[in-house]
């Protein structure tokens, strides 16, 4: 029989778990943290400057043109929404499958989801060029008729999908955190701390009845979040697939986008967890090498899935017999944007295959580099889909090229500033590992002779 | 404004009860004690633990949570609302011909109806959990600060039919409680 791996190392007692996890939010940040945080904050300010300029002066600052009307904003929107999916996969889908190893990474993965969706959500609004009219996207009674929104449009489905996803993710994340916030409250020594965490914990006291309802709700939310997360990236893919453009109009898009989303999201989780383990060494006992290996296995598998989707697209383009479809795909691989296509293939399909070797799956440096490549590759996947399809469609007279401007680069890199600023603040303010979920799995894989921790 | 805050605070500060509580430091001892204490016939006995355990539900005979019914009904309501709203806005209130598609284009409305279903169900489940768990509550008295970290408790409130301070204290001590105290809850 295969022996179960220990989920938490170091023979922790229940009190150790609380102490370890709360230690991060109870001490002043060190220099390492401040250095990283300042860098993120400066990048965030730069992002505010870039997006502010675009709002004030107009979309003309970015590279979009005719025929490439969807550029950096849409590419980066899909990129960040995709990143979010791994968080829900870990916190909801693995929960439904009773994967106990998820407990120590679920909270942070879910936080990643929330911040990634927040970062993503800005892009379509800014892409409209007049974000101050963003409320027009919602069906509200107005004085123009009332003129309702067009429910037949995939772009409107996207508004509903992304806003529902953001709401449910935040609620799921917060509700799961309430008992932990109560634990922080009960340890708090100073008054403001007690007040703040007392309010956040909603007065939770952990009675058996409360736990009974809590567990039921957590399971229900996981059950609701699972179809939701699949629907979100499917609907994002409808933004493309429902259009009649060669390269977009394909039925494979929903599953292909979902697989890509999980792939890129796990890439980001590994990037964050590697950094997290380095900056907070005590978390190595909770986020063990086995956790990292499991996530690398998911990256490798989903990498193969997206590789299959790339192949299937080409096959169907040929099999369809449509010259426009065939041209769109040949143009991707050998046209003027060949470099973006091959960056995508190398980063997403070939590089993750290194994880067939166990020693590579368990090597921190290797997985960090691979996860960065996955992130780059997945950004380029969205670039390939969006830009190469648009720049050459049916009539050669309407062909064109897309040129990046300073503001395009600013929006791409600056969005990381926003994401990391939020994420780093989270690690110092909220318990970054689920205290009440780790405790029940303390004994998994421990020797029988050790009795229950206390 | 201050008056409003005071009223709100008052509403969220439910009156506290006197309780007799015992505190244990391991899950096993606590569960065994809970089983025996429940058998002694307390009808309002409650447990507190830092993490969820399923055995305590059996020991204290806590019934299955009714929240799934709330989720189901709210999901149906969300689905019905989404269907009605897309139909009413697109086909009744101001029908607009867009690309020659039917006014009542059900297949195209499914994504929005689906999202409404999930949103209603999720928010209602959380609302039900807060309501049934007596949350949110302002400044509830805490029996022992370690109960959210590494200790376990059982307590009997004063409105229990077999409430008797001395007897309960003796029982908890006999069941191995490391600390027995009278507190507010």
Q: Which of B47, B129, B135 sits opposite A203 (nearest CB)?
A: B135
| B65/A210 CB distance under 8 A | no
Handedness of CA A406, A411, A415, A421 (dihedral sign): positive
> Integer distance in angstroms from the first to the last C-alpha of chain B?
29
Q: Which of A182, A202, A217 sits opposite B148 (nearest CB)?
A: A182
B179 phi, psi to nearest 5 deg: -150, 140
Mean pLDDT of chain B, nearest integer? 90
Choice among A229-238, A278-287, A378-387, B77-86 with the minimum mean pLDDT: A278-287
| B128/A213 CB distance under 8 A | yes
Angstrom distance (rounded) from CA A242 to CA A235:
10
Residue of A nearest to B155 (CA): A207
B56 contacts in A (CB within 8 Å)?
Answer: 208, 211
Angstrom distance (rounded) from CA A9 to CA A7:
7
Angstrom distance (rounded) from CA A14 to CA A440:
9
**With 60 as the cut, is the pLDDT of residue B162 above it?**
yes
Which of A389, A294, A422, A292 has the alpha carbon at shortest distance from A69? A389
What is the per-residue pLDDT across A373-419, written as a single tens digit (0 to 9) for each? 999 999 999 999 999 999 998 999 999 999 999 999 999 999 999 99
Q: Residues of A407-444 as b/e, b for ≥16 C-beta within 10 angstroms?
A: bbebbbebbbbbbbbbbbebbeebbbbbbbbbbbbbbe
Indicate the domain borders of chain B.
17-62+137-184, 67-132
Locate tokens 């006992």: which residue? Answer: A285
Specify the pLDDT at position B160. Answer: 82
Which two tokens mark A64?
A: 């979009």
For domain B17-62+137-184, the CATH class is alpha beta
**With 70 as the cut, is the pLDDT of residue B83 above it?**
yes
Q: Which of B48, B111, B132 sits opposite A213 (nearest CB)?
A: B132
Long-range contact list for A22-25, CB < 8 A, 24+ apart? A22/A183, A22/A184, A22/A187, A22/A431, A22/A435, A23/A282, A24/A280, A24/A427, A24/A428, A24/A432, A25/A184, A25/A428, A25/A429, A25/A430, A25/A431, A25/A432
Which of A74, A73, A83, A91 has the alpha carbon at shortest distance from A113? A83
Q: Which helix (H) or strand (E) holds B48?
A: strand B46-48
| B46/A208 CB distance under 8 A | yes
**With 70 as the cut, is the pLDDT of residue A2 above it?**
no
Locate tokens 């799961």: which residue? Answer: A176
| A217/B85 CB distance under 8 A | no
| A213/B150 CB distance under 8 A | no
Angstrom distance (rounded) from CA A253 to CA A61:
31
Angstrom distance (rounded) from CA A223 to CA A318:
39
| Percentage of chain B modeled with pLDDT above 70 | 100
Q: What CATH number matches the domain at A14-441, 2.60.120.10, 1.10.3720.10, 1.20.1630.10, 1.10.10.60?
A: 1.20.1630.10
Specify the pLDDT at position A453. Answer: 45
- Our CA-based measurement puts residue A333 at a distance from the nearest CA of chain B, in whole angstroms, of 33
What is the per-residue pLDDT across A18-37, written as a single tens digit (0 to 9) for each? 998 898 888 888 888 899 89
Indicate the domain borders of chain A.
14-441
**With 90 as the cut, is the pLDDT of residue B161 above it?**
no
Q: Which of A148, A167, A186 sits opposite B89 (nearest CB)?
A: A148
B137 contacts in A (CB within 8 Å)?
Answer: 202-203
B142 contacts in A (CB within 8 Å)?
Answer: 186, 205
Specify the pLDDT at position A452. Answer: 46
Residue of A nearest to B65 (CA): A213
Is B112:A160 a contact under the CB 8 Å cutoff? yes
Angstrom distance (rounded) from CA A418 to CA A428:
16
Residue of B nearest to A187 (CA): B145
Is A283:A274 a contact under the CB 8 Å cutoff? no
What is the pTM assigned to this prediction? 0.92
**With 80 as the cut, is the pLDDT of residue B8 above it?**
no
Specify the pLDDT at position A220. Answer: 95
Strands B152-157 and B46-48: antiparallel
pLDDT tier for residue A304 given thresholds of 50, 70 and 90: very high
DSSP-assigned letter for residue B158? T
Specify the pLDDT at position A33. Answer: 87
| B99/A13 CB distance under 8 A | no
Which of B123, B29, B139, B169 has the alpha carbon at shortest distance from A186? B139
- Our CA-based measurement puts residue A39 at a distance from the nearest CA of chain B, in whole angstroms, of 35
Q: Which of A15, A168, A178 sits opposite B149 (nearest CB)?
A: A15
């Amino acid at each position: 029989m295969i022996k179960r791996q220990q989920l938490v190392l170091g023979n922790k007692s229940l009190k150790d778990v609380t102490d370890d996890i709360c230690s991060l939010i109870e001490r002043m940040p060190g220099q390492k943290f401040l250095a990283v945080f300042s860098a993120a904050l400066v990048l965030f300010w730069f992002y505010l400057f870039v997006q502010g300029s675009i709002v004030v002066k107009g979309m003309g600052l970015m590279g979009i043109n005719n025929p490439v009307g969807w550029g950096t904003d849409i590419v980066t929107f899909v990129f960040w929404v995709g990143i979010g999916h791994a968080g829900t996969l870990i916190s909801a889908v693995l929960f439904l499958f009773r994967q106990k190893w998820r407990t120590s990474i679920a909270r942070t993965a879910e936080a990643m989801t929330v911040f990634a969706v927040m970062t993503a959500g800005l892009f379509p609004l800014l892409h409209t060029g007049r974000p101050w009219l963003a409320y027009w996207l919602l069906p509200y009674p107005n004085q123009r008729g009332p003129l309702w929104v067009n429910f037949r449009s995939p772009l409107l489905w996207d508004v509903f999908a992304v806003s529902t996803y953001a709401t449910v993710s935040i609620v799921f994340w917060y509700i799961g955190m309430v008992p932990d916030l109560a634990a922080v409250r009960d340890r708090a020594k100073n008054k403001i701390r007690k007040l703040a965490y007392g309010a956040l914990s909603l007065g939770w006291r952990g009675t058996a009845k409360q736990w009974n309802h809590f567990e039921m709700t957590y399971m229900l939310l996981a059950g609701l979040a699972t179809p939701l997360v699949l629907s979100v990236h499917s609907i994002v893919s409808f933004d493309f697939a429902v259009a009649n453009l060669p390269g977009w109009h394909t039925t494979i898009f929903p599953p292909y986008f979902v697989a890509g989303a999980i792939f890129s999201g796990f890439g980001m989780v590994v990037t964050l967890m590697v950094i997290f383990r380095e900056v907070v060494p005590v978390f190595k006992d909770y986020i063990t090498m086995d956790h990292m290996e499991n996530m690398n296995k998911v990256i490798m598998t989903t990498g193969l899935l997206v590789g299959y989707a790339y192949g299937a697209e080409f096959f169907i383009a040929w099999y369809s017999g449509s010259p426009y479809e065939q041209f769109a795909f040949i143009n991707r691989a050998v046209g003027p944007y060949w470099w973006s296509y091959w960056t995508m293939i190398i980063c997403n399909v070939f590089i993750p295959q290194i994880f067939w070797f166990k020693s590579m799956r368990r090597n921190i440096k290797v997985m960090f580099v691979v996860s960065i490549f996955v992130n780059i590759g997945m950004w380029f996947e969205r670039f390939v889909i969006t830009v190469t399809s648009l720049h050459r469609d049916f009539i050669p007279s309407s062909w064109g090229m897309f040129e990046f401007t300073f503001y395009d680069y600013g929006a791409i890199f600056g969005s990381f500033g926003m994401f990391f600023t939020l994420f780093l603040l989270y690690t110092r303010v909220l318990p970054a590992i689920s205290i009440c979920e780790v405790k029940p799995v303390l004994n998994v894989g421990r020797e029988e002779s050790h009795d229950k921790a206390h | 404004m201050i008056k409003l805050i005071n009223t709100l605070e008052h509403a969220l500060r439910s009156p506290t009860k006197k309780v007799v509580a015992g505190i244990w430091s391991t899950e096993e001892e606590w569960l065994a004690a809970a089983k025996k204490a429940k058998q002694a016939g307390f009808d309002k006995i409650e447990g507190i633990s830092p993490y969820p355990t399923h055995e305590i539900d059996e020991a204290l005979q806590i019934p299955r949570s009714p929240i799934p019914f709330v989720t189901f009904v709210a999901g149906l309501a969300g689905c019905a609302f989404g269907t009605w709203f897309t139909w009413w806005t697109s086909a009744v209130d101001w029908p607009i011909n867009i690309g020659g598609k039917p006014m009542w284009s059900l297949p195209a409305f499914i994504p929005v109806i689906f999202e409404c279903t999930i949103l209603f169900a999720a928010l209602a489940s959380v609302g039900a959990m807060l309501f049934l768990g007596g949350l949110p509550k302002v400044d509830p008295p805490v029996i022992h600060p370690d109960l959210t970290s590494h200790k376990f408790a059982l307590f009997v409130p004063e409105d229990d039919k077999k409430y008797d301070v001395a007897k309960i204290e003796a029982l908890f001590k006999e069941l191995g409680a490391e600390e027995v105290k009278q507190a507010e809850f």
